[in-house]
């Protein structure tokens, strides 16, 4: 048995199984405890977060009126920290060579009927050009773990290639990286290559399930994987993105684990997670989600999003095209701040010429184009944003968090969203999307409270119309 200690560098102490199990019992016993739930909600209304134990009580709460209060509060926190903006990104799969044995992923080593593919630098140019032509400015690169086929040098070279491509008015301005847990030295190299966020999903925080789901390969090592974010921060990366794959293990366990991980990073490293992703298991080649019997309903998925938003108000929250349009729509106002659009989850997926064989990692549910997603968001009253300003202005890590927590960052986010949306409309949007977007920008500009910022943003937007690009606050 290990003692729970959020300040410990050891995975089994900052994600203590004993503490989680105790919380599970506690929340189960208190799911009708109106007095306790009211106390937690009162604390949550201060918008400074609640503990993992308190968050789980909210997740388990079985009182309909209190659940409505939970959703209303999540909406309020989302509005307060992120307004009506939704940041857009796309994944870019570099390679599906992988030496791990993850049982839920078709790229696992033993899957012999999936074609293996690693993009050459020329193919990356083609993929990124296609992504730029869609209008993307922010990518998340994905690669399997394979020191022979995808060594760190390959990842670094690919990042350099991506940043170097300037096609028409296009540019990738932020490359987030989702690669296997690695050494401090390699994290330092990624930092030097200019990455945005380092993303690594925990998959599940339950050590026993984790080891069963990852029977072979380096990913089998639970502690090495769980402590990766600490090493990333030791290597100088201060924006890290957490995630669990809901459906692998008991969702209550993993929900508690991810909040504990956020608490650990904030307490021990001084900076909490930049983002939290909430993927759910999907059907894929050689994988049948029916074998994972922990699938969560759409209702529970929405509640998880709301309770993470309440527990960690400052963190960005990401939902991908794994989710259907309907499911994405439901969680947008409960806490999601970033979504992908027009995604391809295969190696070479954006370029017809490189896509002869199917290498899809998982089924995409939302198959709309980026233009359709942008249009849909605006119809719902959101401002799609292609902003990457903070990372490029050096607003990362604790500097970013203090601006975010004091809610000062909104003075940048809102005009930046409008300016980057304007770029999108000028360069890539369909006439219908453009018409809706122009009206939205005109309306939203009026809501910028600071007169100087409003005047400058208006001027920059006119400059963008005249052909200039890349303004930011």
- CB closer to ligand SF4, 225 vs 252: 225
First to last CA, the chain: 50
- CB closer to ligand SF4, 265 vs 417: 417
Contact indicator for 212, 170 with CB cutoff of 8 Å: no
Least gap, CB of 136 to ligand SF4 (angstroms): 15
Cα 240 to Cα 229: distance, rounded to the nearest angstrom: 7
Least gap, CB of 337 to ligand SF4 (angstroms): 8
- CB closer to ligand SF4, 180 vs 448: 180
- CB closer to ligand SF4, 17 vs 285: 285
Exposure b/e, 406-433, CB count within 10 A at least 16 = b: eeebbebbbbbbbbbbbbbbbebbeeeb
- CB closer to ligand SF4, 75 vs 116: 116
Least gap, CB of 359 to ligand SF4 (angstroms): 11
Residues in touch with ligand SF4 (CB under 6 A): 87, 98, 100, 102, 105, 107-108, 144-145, 180, 219, 385, 387-390, 409, 412-413, 416
Least gap, CB of 69 to ligand SF4 (angstroms): 28
Cα 226 to Cα 205: distance, rounded to the nearest angstrom: 8
Least gap, CB of 245 to ligand SF4 (angstroms): 9
Least gap, CB of 107 to ligand SF4 (angstroms): 4
- CB closer to ligand SF4, 88 vs 296: 88
Least gap, CB of 135 to ligand SF4 (angstroms): 16
Cα 80 to Cα 358: distance, rounded to the nearest angstrom: 42
- CB closer to ligand SF4, 249 vs 416: 416
| Cα-based angle 401, 174, 462 (whole degrees, multiple of 5) | 95
Least gap, CB of 181 to ligand SF4 (angstroms): 9
- CB closer to ligand SF4, 16 vs 338: 338
């Amino acid at each position: 048995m290990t003692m729970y200690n959020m300040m410990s560098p050891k995975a089994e102490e900052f994600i203590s199984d004993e503490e989680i199990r105790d919380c599970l019992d506690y929340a189960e016993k208190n799911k009708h405890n109106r007095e306790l739930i009211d106390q937690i909600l009162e604390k949550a209304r201060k918008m400074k977060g609640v503990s993992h134990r308190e968050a789980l009580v909210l997740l388990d709460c079985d009182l309909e009126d209190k659940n409505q209060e939970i959703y209303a509060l999540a909406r309020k926190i989302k509005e307060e920290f992120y307004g009506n903006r939704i940041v857009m990104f796309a994944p870019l799969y570099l390679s599906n060579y992988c030496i791990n044995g993850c049982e839920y992923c078709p790229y696992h080593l033993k899957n012999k009927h999936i074609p293996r593919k690693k993009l050459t630098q020329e193919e990356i140019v083609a993929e990124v050009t296609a992504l730029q032509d869609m209008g993307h400015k922010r990518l998340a690169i994905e690669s399997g773990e394979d020191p022979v086929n995808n060594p760190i040098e390959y990842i670094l070279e690919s990042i350099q290639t991506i940043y170097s491509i300037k096609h028409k008015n296009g540019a990738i301005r932020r490359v987030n990286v989702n690669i296997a847990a690695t050494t401090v030295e390699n994290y330092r190299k990624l930092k030097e290559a200019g990455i945005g966020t380092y993303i690594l999903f925990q998959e599940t925080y339950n050590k026993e399930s984790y080891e069963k789901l990852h029977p072979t390969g380096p990913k089998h090592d639970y502690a090495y994987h769980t402590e990766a974010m600490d090493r990333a921060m030791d290597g100088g990366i201060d924006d890290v993105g957490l995630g669990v794959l809901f459906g692998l293990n008991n969702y209550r366990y993993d929900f508690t684990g991810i909040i504990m991980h956020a608490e650990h990073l904030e307490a021990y490293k001084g900076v909490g997670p930049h983002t939290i992703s909430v993927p759910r298991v999907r059907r894929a080649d050689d994988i049948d989600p029916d074998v994972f019997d922990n699938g969560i309903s759409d209702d529970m998925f929405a509640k998880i999003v709301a309770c993470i938003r309440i527990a960690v108000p400052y963190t960005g929250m990401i939902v991908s095209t794994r989710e259907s349009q309907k499911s994405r729509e439901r969680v947008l106002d409960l806490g999601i701040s970033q979504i992908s659009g027009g995604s391809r989850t295969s190696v070479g997926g954006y370029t017809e010429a490189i896509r002869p064989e199917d290498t899809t990692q998982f089924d995409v549910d939302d198959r709309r184009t980026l233009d359709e997603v942008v249009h849909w968001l605006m119809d719902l009253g959101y401002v799609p944003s292609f902003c990457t300003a903070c990372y490029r202005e050096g607003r990362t890590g604790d500097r970013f968090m203090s601006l975010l927590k004091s809610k000062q960052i909104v003075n940048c986010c809102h005009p930046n969203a409008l300016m980057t949306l304007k770029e999108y409309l000028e360069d890539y949007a369909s006439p219908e999307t453009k018409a809706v977007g122009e009206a939205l920008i005109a309306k939203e500009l009026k809501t910028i409270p600071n007169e100087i910022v409003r005047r400058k943003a208006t001027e920059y937007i006119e400059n963008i119309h005249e052909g200039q690009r890349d303004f930011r606050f």
